[in-house]
Amino acid sequence: MPVVAIQRSRHDRSDAEIAAIVRQTIELAGGVPEKVRRARSILVKPNYVGANGRPSDDAVKRHAGRFLGCTEPIVTHATVAMIREANPGAEIIVSEGVDNREPRVPEDCFRAMGANRLTEEFGARLLNANTGTLGLYDVPGGGLLHRAIHLRREVAEADAVVSVAKLKMHGTAGVTLSLKNMFGLLPRSRYGSTYRNFMHANHYRLMRVIVDIATLRRPDLAVIDGTIASDHGIDHTPIEAGLMLAGHDPLATDAVGIALLGFSPRTQFPEMPFLVSENHLLLAEQVGIGTLDLDRIEVRGIAIAEARPRHTFTIQTERNVTTEESRQYIAAARSQAKVYVARREELLAAHRGRYVFLRDGEVVWSVPTLAEAADRAIKHPPPDGYGLTIQVVPEAEEIERVAAYA
């Protein structure tokens, strides 16, 4: 039976006190997993999205001195400290996909999140997942939608994975916890401009790539920082939840996390918080990442009912997409995928290697680059109607299995 630990972590505690809480929570959950203890290289994935692309350090949102959209630096620090104690000789890689814009550089984001201390004190390498040598790595089991995923080599080849996520709502995915945190490892050069817009523009695609990346880089240890939770969106409304979670089963940890936000882990689209997307946690359970059954999870520390904040969490949908519009996005993507499969040879002859937008069985536009396609596809309301943006390649070269839309 998987174990998930819950502890109190008030925002007005000192950093030293919060570090002790992180340690207590991980120890209560079973300590540093054996796989992490034996690994030669360990990937640590914090959530820095709230600092991503900000024009200055002061622009990173805070509440009462604590970060709103990012994993609190002391939580990452305390987690890495435990990893280093458990495995003195391992290479520790702290990675996030950083999209900072000029005059800011990626190093500014890492510095703003206190990550330089991880290098100074524990010898950790700080890697921008968007850059470096990229490779194409097969998803175990063939993937829900993507048979393989592009990743930075060091990120893909680390022996063990630790997710240090944030407890927060998400305007498309409903919630963003341990599994959704791994989405930030996708290099934007392969997944569509800032914030991976090629993925966000298609809700059917987005939910499945979350599961596919979490399958490929399944966390061996999941820590969720709920010192300050974010309601409505990824760095929107601060809620003083005062919680810390940890577990070895990332899906079980997310099941407890979403329960603390006030929702059943088995909530289905289009119920809150999954107003505009399928429940990616359910999809993850289907491929065997872990369990969502609260009755089959041992909760240690504070009981869920006792720990749950006295607040009603909701989402504000990204781009103000409605449930009905999301239905249209999903239905159109699936119907146009069938058209694409039927007309593949014709499309290859005219558009091979290009990105096309299909609507009502016709090519509305064709562009040569992913960035151009992502920038057009993300617009809402969709100026060209509802359809599917896809790269035209032979079936043997498909990374995204178009037939899986059926």
Write the CB contacts of 302 (distance below 8 Å, at least 6 apart in sequence).
6, 7, 8
Instruction: Give the lowest-confidence range in 83-97, 182-196, 278-292.
Output: 182-196
Tens digit of each residue's pLDDT (9 = 90 or more) over 25-77: 999 999 999 999 999 999 999 999 999 888 899 999 999 999 999 999 999 99
Q: What is the pLDDT of residue 299?
A: 99
In the chain, what are the domain boundaries? Answer: 3-320, 324-405
Mean pLDDT of 93-116: 91
What average pLDDT does the structure give for the chain? 96
The band of 288, judged by pLDDT with boundaries at 50, 70 and 90, is: very high
Q: What is the pLDDT of residue 5?
A: 99
Q: Would you state the pLDDT for residue 99?
A: 82
Residue 28, H or E segment: helix 15-28
CATH node for 3-320: 3.40.50.11440
Q: What is the DSSP letter of 270?
A: T
Cβ pair 145, 203 in contact under 8 A? no
CA–CA separation, 7 vs 29, rounded Å?
Answer: 11
Rounded distance, CA 277 to CA 285, Å? Answer: 16
Q: What pLDDT is attached to residue 275? A: 98
Instruction: Give percent of the chain with pLDDT exceeding 90.
Output: 90
User: Three-class SS of residue 406?
Assistant: coil
Contacts 24+ apart (CB under 8 A), 70-74: 70/46, 70/113, 70/166, 70/235, 71/46, 71/47, 71/113, 71/164, 71/165, 71/166, 71/225, 72/18, 72/225, 72/227, 72/228, 73/113, 73/114, 73/115, 73/117, 74/15, 74/18, 74/19, 74/22, 74/114
Q: What angle do CA 208, 209, 212 make, to 5 degrees?
A: 90
Residue 317 in tokens: 């949908």
Read off the pLDDT of residues 326-377 as tens digits, 9 standing for 90 and up: 999 999 999 999 999 999 999 999 999 999 999 999 999 999 999 899 989 8
Looking at the DSSP bridge assignments, the partners of residue 356 are 366, 390
pLDDT in tens, 5-23: 999 999 999 999 999 999 9
pLDDT for 194 beyond 80? no
Give the tens place of pLDDT for each residue, 114-171.
999 999 999 999 999 999 999 999 999 999 999 999 999 999 999 999 999 999 999 9
Q: Residue range 214-224: average pLDDT?
A: 99
In the block, tokens 């937008």 appear at 357
pLDDT interval class at 390 (50, 70, 90):
very high
CA atoms within 13 A on the CB side of 271: 8
**Identity of the amino acid at 39:** A
- Measured over the CA atoms of residue 340, residue 343, residue 348 and residue 349, the dihedral's sign is negative
As given in the structure block, the two tokens for residue 351 are: 């558009």
How does DSSP classify residue 140? G
Q: Measuring CA to CA, which residue among 313, 217, 222, 323 is closest to residue 274?
A: 323
pLDDT value at residue 263: 99
- List pLDDT tens digits, range 125-139: 999 999 999 999 999
